[in-house]
Amino acid sequence: MNIRHANIRKIAAALSAAALAGTAFAVNPIVTHKYSADPNAFVWKDRLYVVCSHDLDGQKGFEMNDYVLMSTDDLVNWTDHGDVFTGGKDVKWCWNLYAPGAAVKDGKVYLYYPNSGGPIGVAVADRPEGPYTDPLGKHLIGREMPGCDSCWVFDPAAFVDDDGKAYLYFGGNGDTMARAVRLNDDMVSAQFPGIMMKASKDGGEATVMPYFFEASYMHKHNGKYYFSYSANFPDRGASIDYAIGDSPLGPFVWKGAILPNWAENSWNNNHHSIVDFRGKTYIVYHSRILSNRQGHNNVFERSVCIDELKYNDDGTIAKVVPTHEGPRQLKPLDPYKANRAVTICQDEKVKVKMADVSKNNTSVVVASDDGAWVRYAGFAFGAAPESVSALCRAKGPAVVEVRKGAVDGPLAATIALSDTKGEFRKFSAAVSGIGAETCDLYFVFVKSAAGTEFASYRFAR
């Protein structure tokens, strides 16, 4: 890069950072081409990952049998890595996958999964995308194990403390039903008996976890331990409540709600996780926002959302107001590097599937019909781009338009695709009307779009 370009890039970066600082995107839910629920967030190599239950389109109950994985480094554009763990395939004894729990330890990812209301198993992988193996071939925690007699042995949440000691929290259906076990160093065996999680309330004795219903979670902040969970419906309307303690197993003091339930969640079940990422804390949770927006109003079609979480000076948590906007974008997209098509802010009429792209099995966008579009938010162009290229697999002549700012915004490029005979091929087009600015772009599949696959794109100047 020459000095002139370096200076232009510095100015552009400053301008785009300023532009982004004032920009609020409608980020929630974080994925709009599928339903997702029970998010468990973790950081891997400076990227935020969320592994989620995968609610099926139109499901009439909790029929899920795989987990979906999303990741981001800017909190606005999320990469859909596809289904990473499937019941009956990656694990033989478990088919109905309810809320997952994930932990990172010694360079491995551990995934804890319940078969519906129990029992709980564990899978291991070398990276978040998997492949995951089931080292035990059977469950890790079951109701028959000492101290694990919760009504529902499900909703596992793993927590690794700063001293390397790990814990698994789980349980459901009553204030005496929250449980925890110490995990051994191998993360795939546990120490028994499990213990009952309890918190005192209003200065009283700790005999139960007040209002506990499901969705256990543990995180640490400034040396204190925060046990959070979905509270019951009759007393608390399934708000996410929490208790603070001095050790991972208590004693705890109940503090009330972090995340009240809300209309966009149809006042239905609530599930969350809390994660630190690049200097701030976020709560990731599900709602019915997408199903409601689509007019389905199906409480079994949930969608994952994210908002910032802040602490009060005394260490208590300021109540989170769930938003449609979500957090601000942390950094702009670089249009001049190869960007994956599945790193998306919003979309319509598209799906994501796994495909063999240059001998790598990876997730790609698939247009379902004409009018399908994908929005990528917050590119910092720095200088006017001259061309754009897209790596696509097409079944015949098709057209992808690149539009600025809106799905019907100014046309910046028209990419003509032809039959790629089953392979992925690069197609290029000239770009006009984009200057040294920060803007969103929409890739719109306008003609003969059904089945067109889109792997990646990059701009050139």
Tell me which residues are annotated as active site.
38, 214
C-alpha atoms less than 13 angstroms from C-alpha of 458 in its C-beta half-sphere: 8
Ramachandran class of 118: left when φ > 0, alpha when ψ lies in -120 to 50, beta otherwise: left
Yes or no: say if 225 and 274 are a contact pair by the CB < 8 Å rule.
Answer: no
Q: How far is the CB of 99 from ligand FUB (least distance, A)?
A: 4
Buried b (16+ CB within 10 A) or exposed e, 300-336: bbbbbbbbebeeeeeeebeebebbbebbbbbbbbbbb
Q: C-beta of 214: minimal distance to ligand FUB in Å?
A: 4
At its nearest, how many Å lie between ligand FUB and the CB of residue 95? 14
Please, which residue, 172 or 248, has the CB nearer to ligand FUB? 172
Give yes or no for residue 391 binding ligand FUB (CB under 6 A). Answer: no
- Identify the bridge partners of residue 353 per DSSP, sorted by sequence position: 364
Type of residue at 71? S
User: What does the alpha-carbon distance between residue 347 and residue 26 come to, in Å, rounded to a whole number?
Assistant: 12
User: Segment 80-99, which members bind ligand FUB (CB under 6 A)?
Assistant: 98-99
**Closest approach of Cβ 152 to ligand FUB, in Å?**
8
For the CB of residue 239, give the shortest distance to ligand FUB in the complex, in Å.
Answer: 14
What is the C-alpha separation between 21 and 378, in angstroms, rounded? Answer: 11
By CB under 6 A, what part of segment 214-253 binds ligand FUB? Answer: 214-215
Applying CB under 6 A, which of residues 34, 54, 236, 271 lies at the interface with ligand FUB?
271
Residues in region 283-312 near ligand FUB by CB under 6 A: none
Residues between 96 and 125 with contacts to ligand FUB, criterion CB under 6 A: 98-99
CA triple 130-135-137, angle to 5 deg: 115
Decide whether 154 or 227 has the Cβ nearer to ligand FUB.
Answer: 154
Q: How far is CA 145 from CA 17, 80, 115, 132, 135, in A?
A: 53, 37, 16, 25, 19
37 part of the interface to ligand FUB, by CB under 6 A: yes
Task: Compare residues 101 and 385 and give the one whose CB is closer to ligand FUB.
Answer: 101
Contact pick of 155, 175, 241, 264 for ligand FUB (by CB under 6 A) = 155
Q: Which of residues 11-30 bind ligand FUB (CB under 6 A)?
A: none
User: By CB under 6 A, how many residues form the interface with ligand FUB?
Assistant: 12
Sign of CA dihedral 149, 274, 24, 260: positive
Q: Can you tell me which of 29, 34, 38, 285 binds ligand FUB, judged by CB under 6 A?
A: 38
With respect to ligand FUB, which residue has the nearer C-beta, 173 or 448?
A: 173
Instruction: Give which of 295, 301, 228, 294 is closest to 268, Cα–Cα.
Output: 301
Q: Which two tokens stand for residue 410?
A: 């100014």
Binding site for ligand FUB (CB under 6 A): 37-38, 53, 62, 98-99, 154-155, 214-215, 269, 271
